[in-house]
Structure 1
Amino acid sequence: MGHRLTSGEKTLRTTGGSFATSGIMDLDPRVRIVVAVVFAVVVVALSDLAALVCAVAMSALLLPLSGLPVRRTLKRMAGMDGFILFMLVLLPFTVPGTPMFTLFGMAASWQGLWQAVEIALTANAVILALMCLAGSMEPVTLGHGLLALRVPERLVQLLMFTIRYIETLREEYTRLRAAMKIRGFRPGTNWHTYRSFGYLVGMMLVRALERSERVLGAMKCRGFTGRFVLLQDFRTTRQDWLFVAAMVAGVLVLIGIEVRHAFA
């Protein structure tokens, strides 16, 4: 039996917009995981700006095939860029080299600027590719794919439970913060605020432990023995091999550009 889309994937496919039948969601999850890992490893090893720009272009080409909402995905990428922006701004002032300009007695170097651009391109190429190839999968499908690739079962279970209960913990945090606001709590720079947030973290841990015990009991009542039963078999098709061939060709082009730069 070949891989069939889960209900979550069908929903994502519908909300993400129509795309060709050769879309990424129709591919074998194992193929998507392996291609994502290989692409990320190769891109991280690149240092030539031309190769990194091509890597970003390859990741961008995957976006319309992934079924992900383009606007929401780009907003997430912008959030990631904002997280590393501060480091990238400071990098030209901390890397020695040929000075571009001086600001408050500190010289900004061209070498630092190129390193900042290199880091930004690498991060955007890798994160966007991972979001398109692996991030568009249902967590259960991702876990089954990892198990099929012989990833340790305990690690896969930890990943799946983490994905499942991150949102649950966020909801618990939201309820506790709302309760604090109703009681008139206003955060500030004082010991009362520090103690209150300490109590908040402690209460979240206690409630998380209680919830985990309830979940474990419910799973045991349903016959859980520590192993997830795979309800589907994965099978590679001609479409999967065509996608692998295209991605391998793209990766070889990136390596060729990098090697040409190294021996230039």
Structure 2
Amino acid sequence: MGHFVSSGPKILISADTAQSTRTLDGLDPRSRVLAALCFAILTVSLNSFPVLILAFGVSVATLLATRLPIKATLLRMAAMDGFIIFMLALLPFTVPGQPLFFVFGFGFSLEGLLKAAEIGLTANAVILMLMVLVGTLEPVTLGHALHRLKTPETLVHLLMFTVRYISVLHQEYLRLRSAMKVRSFRLSNSIHTYRTIGYLVGMMLVRSIDRSERILAAMKCRGFTGTIPLLDTMRFTSCDGVFAVCALFVGTALFILEWKIGAAY
């Protein structure tokens, strides 16, 4: 068993817009993963509000430079914001500080608002950079890049198999839902609906276990020994060197600005 590393189908973009990522296709996948990881660590360590705005601007500039579909990328980032919006909305009411106004007796503090904005900027800057640099990699390519970066093989295999079989499980779910609709099942606020949804989830788990056993048997028949050999090689090129210099320059500039602004305060 082996895989070729290729540009392949993208995660965030469709085939008709695949040419928009040619700026990134010339880079070694390891360069993109390392750059995204270093940017995430640096951005999370920032505390100054102006520098965080600049870091978010760097992510937006990278998105524009790579000419990815802006609408699709921002919609996916908005889905992430949906998980933290409630936490950010509560911070102004829970962080001590000078209240600007009161809502049902709870003070809305300026310090809490600034803290919420800081967390929001940090999360969006990191996620946007990850989506641009890593999210456009083919799953197999990303898995092999992580393996070359000495990530534990178990985690790499989990990533690759999870990405591969999410669509399989989704198709299984659609077949079960179709069977339920044929039997005149309709969603409603009733005990019967809750019981039926529970049966659906249980059946999905049972079928997932059964399918995983069949997949494992098929892989063993094809000589799988716990490793997936790579039939192509990854090489750092001059483009990766230029990319590394640019990333180092941006990271150093953010670090110096953080140090100077932090010292000023």
TM-score, L = length of structure 2: 0.90
Q: Do 1:25 and 1:136's aligned partners in 2 also have CA atoms closer than 8 Å?
A: no
Residue 47 of structure 1 aligns to a residue whose secondary structure is coil
Residue 209 of structure 1 aligns to a residue whose secondary structure is helix
Q: Do 2:20 and 2:68's aligned partners in 1 also have CA atoms closer than 8 Å?
A: no
Hey, what's the Cα distance between the residues in 2 that align with 1:68 and 1:225? 38
Q: After alignment, is 33-42 or 247-256 more displaced?
A: 247-256
Match of 1:195 in 2: 195
Q: Do 1:97 and 1:111's aligned partners in 2 also have CA atoms closer than 8 Å?
A: yes
Match of 1:106 in 2: 106
Match of 1:144 in 2: 144
Match of 1:48 in 2: 48
Superposition deviation, residue 174 in structure 1: 2.4
Match of 2:9 in 1: 8
Superposition deviation, residue 86 in structure 1: 2.0
Which has the bigger relative contact order, CA under 8 A and spacing at least 6? Answer: 2
Q: Do 1:13 and 1:68's aligned partners in 2 also have CA atoms closer than 8 Å?
A: no
Give the direction of change, closer, same or farther, for the CA distance of 1:66–1:224 in structure 2 (3 Å limit): farther
* Corresponding pairs, count: 260
Q: After alignment, is 162-171 or 135-144 more displaced?
A: 162-171
Q: Do 2:9 and 2:15's aligned partners in 1 also have CA atoms closer than 8 Å?
A: no
Match of 2:204 in 1: 204
Q: Percent identity?
A: 50
Superposition deviation, residue 182 in structure 1: 3.0
Give the direction of change, closer, same or farther, for the CA distance of 1:49–1:128 in structure 2 (3 Å limit): same
Q: Do 2:21 and 2:66's aligned partners in 1 also have CA atoms closer than 8 Å?
A: no
Residue 236 of structure 2 aligns to a residue whose secondary structure is coil
Superposition deviation, residue 53 in structure 1: 0.9
Match of 1:184 in 2: 184
Superposition deviation, residue 25 in structure 1: 2.0
User: How big is each residue's C-alpha offset from its partner over 1:191-222, in whole Å with a ceiling of 9 and x where there is no partner?
Assistant: 32332222111100111111112212222232
Q: Do 1:19 and 1:64's aligned partners in 2 also have CA atoms closer than 8 Å?
A: no
User: How big is each residue's C-alpha offset from its partner over 1:27-78, in whole Å with a ceiling of 9 and x where there is no partner?
Assistant: 0111111111111011111121111111111111222344532221111112
Hey, what's the Cα distance between the residues in 2 that align with 1:18 and 1:8? 11
Q: Do 2:48 and 2:261's aligned partners in 1 also have CA atoms closer than 8 Å?
A: yes
Residue 9 of structure 2 aligns to a residue whose secondary structure is helix
Q: Do 1:17 and 1:67's aligned partners in 2 also have CA atoms closer than 8 Å?
A: no
Unaligned regions of 5+ residues in structure 1, if any? none
Hey, what's the Cα distance between the residues in 1 that align with 2:111 and 2:32? 36
Give the direction of change, closer, same or farther, for the CA distance of 1:160–1:17 in structure 2 (3 Å limit): closer
Give the direction of change, closer, same or farther, for the CA distance of 1:68–1:171 in structure 2 (3 Å limit): farther
Q: Do 2:5 and 2:140's aligned partners in 1 also have CA atoms closer than 8 Å?
A: no
Over aligned residue pairs, what C-alpha RMSD do you find? Answer: 2.2
Hey, what's the Cα distance between the residues in 2 that align with 1:245 and 1:172? 47
User: How big is each residue's C-alpha offset from its partner over 1:166-197, in whole Å with a ceiling of 9 and x where there is no partner?
Assistant: 22222222222232233233334443233222
Q: After alignment, is 194-203 or 177-186 more displaced?
A: 177-186
Hey, what's the Cα distance between the residues in 1 that align with 2:67 and 2:146? 21
- Moved segments of 4+, more than 4 Å: 11-14, 17-21
Q: Do 2:21 and 2:67's aligned partners in 1 also have CA atoms closer than 8 Å?
A: no
Hey, what's the Cα distance between the residues in 1 that align with 2:230 and 2:21? 28
Match of 1:61 in 2: 61
Q: Do 1:28 and 1:240's aligned partners in 2 also have CA atoms closer than 8 Å?
A: yes
Residue 47 of structure 2 aligns to a residue whose secondary structure is coil
Match of 1:157 in 2: 157
Unaligned regions of 5+ residues in structure 2, if any? none
Hey, what's the Cα distance between the residues in 2 that align with 1:147 and 1:20? 23
TM-score, L = length of structure 1: 0.90
Hey, what's the Cα distance between the residues in 2 that align with 1:101 and 1:228? 59
Q: After alignment, is 115-124 or 169-178 more displaced?
A: 169-178
Superposition deviation, residue 20 in structure 1: 8.4
Hey, what's the Cα distance between the residues in 2 that align with 1:54 and 1:17? 29
Hey, what's the Cα distance between the residues in 2 that align with 1:198 and 1:62? 44
Residue 38 of structure 1 aligns to a residue whose secondary structure is helix
Give the direction of change, closer, same or farther, for the CA distance of 1:237–1:253 in structure 2 (3 Å limit): same
Please show how residues 121-132 of structure 1 align to structure 2 within 5 Å: 121-132=121-132
Q: AA paired with 1:166? A: I
